[in-house]
Amino acid sequence: MAIPTVESTTSNLTANGIAASVSKTANTLLKELPIRNGTAKFMPDTITNGASKPISNGTPVTLPELDASLLTTTLTPNPRSVPAPGSPEEASQKVCTDHMIQARWTATSGWNAPSLQPYGPLSLMPTASVLHYATECFEGMKLYRGYDGKLRLFRPQLNCNRMLVSTNRIALPAFPPAELLKLIVKLCATDGPKWLPKDRPGSFLYIRPTMIASDSALGVQRPKEALLFVIMACFPPMDGSATPGGMKLLASRDDMIRAWPGGFGYAKVGANYGPSLVAQGEARAQGFDQILWLFGDHCSVTEAGASNFFVVWKTKEGKTQLVTAPLGERIILDGVTRRSVLELSRTRLEKRCGELAPIEVVERKFDMFEIEEAVREGRMIESFAAGTAFFIAPVGLINFRGKELKIPMSEGDAGAYTKVIKNWLKNIMWGKEQHEWGYVIEESE
Ligand SMILES: *Cc1c(COP(=O)(O)O)cnc(C)c1O
């Protein structure tokens, strides 16, 4: 079977890329859902019209889309206190802010009006689809309290677009990504001012948009009910939590594969993570920080834990390159951080930058044998993992089949390229550099 390929980073999460991906799948599904005996059948829709359309006597009836302007607000009567910096509550990653967003969808009524309501437990039937068939997907973003006092998101449109790619892969309903963004912004504007006080610049909250199939029919089928929710959790600050000596990665064994062509590695679906925890637990027990996921007989390097993976090396011809795995086979996630690293490196590092020699930015398949050879020949310059949760994390060591490959860190705690890239991103996220990627949340007072 031919493996569908997708264009590379620059277009994949853009509106056109998304629309193409959604309508491609919608068309496939349409063929699987013929109209029989005049009974209503449901089909997913394209990006511009998120709700499903039931067909009645051959005439499509448009169901309500997800619509942020219909949001109802119920503020909590019991506001909680914000964990003190460095406290055990903050470290627990269990404390969420006062409110959450919820929106329900059903195949017969489309999207109901979303609500902003007090944070609290969900009610689900034990037969709910998500509990049995992993009909779930999520996003991970951060709300940053800037050094200029402003609250910011970082390229949130890309997360909302990617959420649609994920729902589409896991038979959850479509929605207009711009409406999801409006709901996220509303939650940030409601809880951000209190939970990220202005006197704590450099702090952040972790935002988790999630969609689950709440359908209570136990049959294995496309869910007819879904719940979208958005919560915000307190996390300890990132700096200081960096691993001294850099992250230690354990290359995955041949009998544990995270994702494969034709699978769903490109989607942020819960089904990718549960089965990876055995390997991750073993890695932790052996003193490693993350698994470096390999794929195929050639031990292609894909991702490190839930982060994209980069190396900077010199080629045998003496060129300095920043290399990361390509998106084409759809086995890795199109990370917002990955994309930002590539874009910044292409605009700022392909020509000389201070002390740093110009680099060539390359997305291609590369494997452990190339890394091993580069280390052996002294051509490895540095390596890092990139993702929202752990941000830019320098890599100090890779264990491959029992062999320890030491990765240089020219600046002591990171490589020189890693350090500038990390600083550029930090400056944009926390408002030290005014940049179009910073999305300011307006606060009322
Ligand atoms: C979330 C995630 C990433 C990082 O994506 P960002 O958008 O940069 O946070 C990378 N790989 C996997 C498998 C992930 O789940």
Best probe residue, ligand 1, of 238, 338, 392 (max atoms within 8 Å of C-beta): 338
Could you tell me the CA-to-CA distances from 198 to 195, 233, 444 in Å, in that order? 9, 18, 13
pLDDT at 244: 83
Instruction: At 92, list the tokens.
Output: 């627990």
d(CA 186, CA 183): 5
Banded model confidence at residue 264, pLDDT cuts 50, 70, 90: very high
Which region among 56-65, 132-141, 418-427 has the lowest average model confidence (pLDDT)? Answer: 56-65
Answer yes or no: is pLDDT of 342 > 80: yes
Residue 53 has what pLDDT? 52
Single-letter amino acid, residue 300: S
Q: Is the dihedral of CA 216, 30, 22, 166 positive or negative?
A: positive
Which ligand 1 atom is the nearest neighbour of the CA of 389? 9
pLDDT reported for residue 10: 40
- Predicted pLDDT of residue 61: 74
Q: For residues 114 and 102, is the Cβ–Cβ distance under 8 A?
A: yes
Report the alpha-carbon distance of residue 349 to residue 327 in Å, rounded.
Answer: 22
Residue nearest to atom 13 of ligand 1 (CA): 306
**Contact status, residue 387 vs residue 407, Cβ threshold 8 Å:** no
Measuring from atom 5 of ligand 1, which residue has the nearest CA? 335
Ligand 1 centroid vs 290 CA: distance in angstroms? 14
Nearest atom in ligand 1 to 340's CA: 8
Q: Which has the closest alpha carbon to 339: 430, 425, 210, 414?
A: 425
Lowest mean pLDDT among 18-27, 75-84, 300-309, 382-391: 18-27
- Going from the N-terminus, what domains does the chain have, and what CATH number goes with each? 12-77+84-234 (3.30.470.10), 247-429 (3.20.10.10)
What is the pairing mode between strands 247-251 and 391-400?
parallel
User: Could you tell which of 136, 166, 266, 388 is best to mutate to test the pocket of ligand 1, judged by most ligand atoms within 8 Å of the CB?
Assistant: 388
* pLDDT above 70 coverage of the chain, percent: 85
* pLDDT above 50 (res 132): yes
- How far is Cα 436 from Cα 428, in angstroms, rounded to an integer? 9
What's the pLDDT at 243?
A: 77
Provide the pLDDT for residue 193: 98
Work out which ligand 1 atom sits closest to the CA atom of 308: 10
8 A C-beta contact, residue 424 and residue 354: no
Q: Nearest residue CA, atom 10 of ligand 1? A: 307
Cα atoms in the Cβ-side hemisphere of radius 13 Å centred on 93: 8
Instruction: Report which protein residue has its CA nearest ligand 1's atom 3.
Output: 307
**Treating both helix axes as pointing N-terminal to C-terminal, what angle do 15-32 and 156-169 enclose, rounded to 10 degrees?**
10
Residue 87 neighbours by CB distance under 10 Å: 13
Residues near ligand 1 with C-beta < 6 Å?
A: 140, 268, 303, 306-308, 333, 335-338, 387-388
Indicate if the pLDDT at residue 199 is higher than 80: yes
Q: Average pLDDT of 211-215? A: 97
| Cα dihedral 326/47/213/224 (nearest 10) | -140
3-state DSSP call for residue 31? helix
For residue 93, the CA-to-ligand 1 centroid distance in Å is: 18
CA 197 to CA 188: how far, in whole Å? 13
d(CA 155, CA 174): 21
In this predicted model, which residue has the larger pLDDT, 38 or 224? 224
| Average of per-residue pLDDT across 196-205 | 95
* Entry field: residues in the chain: 445
Which of 83-92, 129-138, 372-381 is predicted least confidently? 83-92
pLDDT of residue 293 exceeding 90: yes
Centre of ligand 1 from the C-alpha of residue 250, in Å: 18
CA-closest residue to ligand 1 atom 1: 306
- Cβ neighbours, 10 Å, residue 237: 13
Give mean pLDDT, residues 149-167. Answer: 98
According to the model, what pLDDT value does residue 346 have?
98
* Beta pairing partners, 398: 249, 405
Q: What is the pLDDT averaged over residues 26-51?
A: 33
Query: With contact defined as beta carbons under 8 Å apart, do 425 and 432 qualify?
Result: no
Question: For residue 388, how far is its CA from the centre of ligand 1 (angstroms)?
Answer: 7
Contact 421, 356 (CB under 8 A): no
Number of Cβ atoms within 10 Å of the Cβ of 8: 13
Q: What is the mean pLDDT of the chain?
A: 88
Residue 361 banded pLDDT, cuts 50, 70, 90: very high
- Sign of torsion over alpha carbons 205, 206, 209, 215: negative
Which residue out of 268, 295, 330, 339 has the highest number of ligand 1 atoms within 8 Å of its CB and is therefore the one to mutate? 268
Q: What is the whole-number distance in angstroms between the Cα of residue 443 and the centre of ligand 1?
A: 29
Residue 76 bridge partners (DSSP): none
156 alpha carbon – ligand 1 mean position (Å):
14
Q: Whose CA is nearest to atom 12 of ligand 1?
A: 306
Q: Which is more confidently placed, 50 or 114? A: 114
Beta-strand pair 391-400/53-56: unpaired
Q: Which whole number is the average pLDDT over 348-365?
A: 95
Quote the pLDDT of residue 47: 35
**Tokens 């494969």 label which residue?**
260
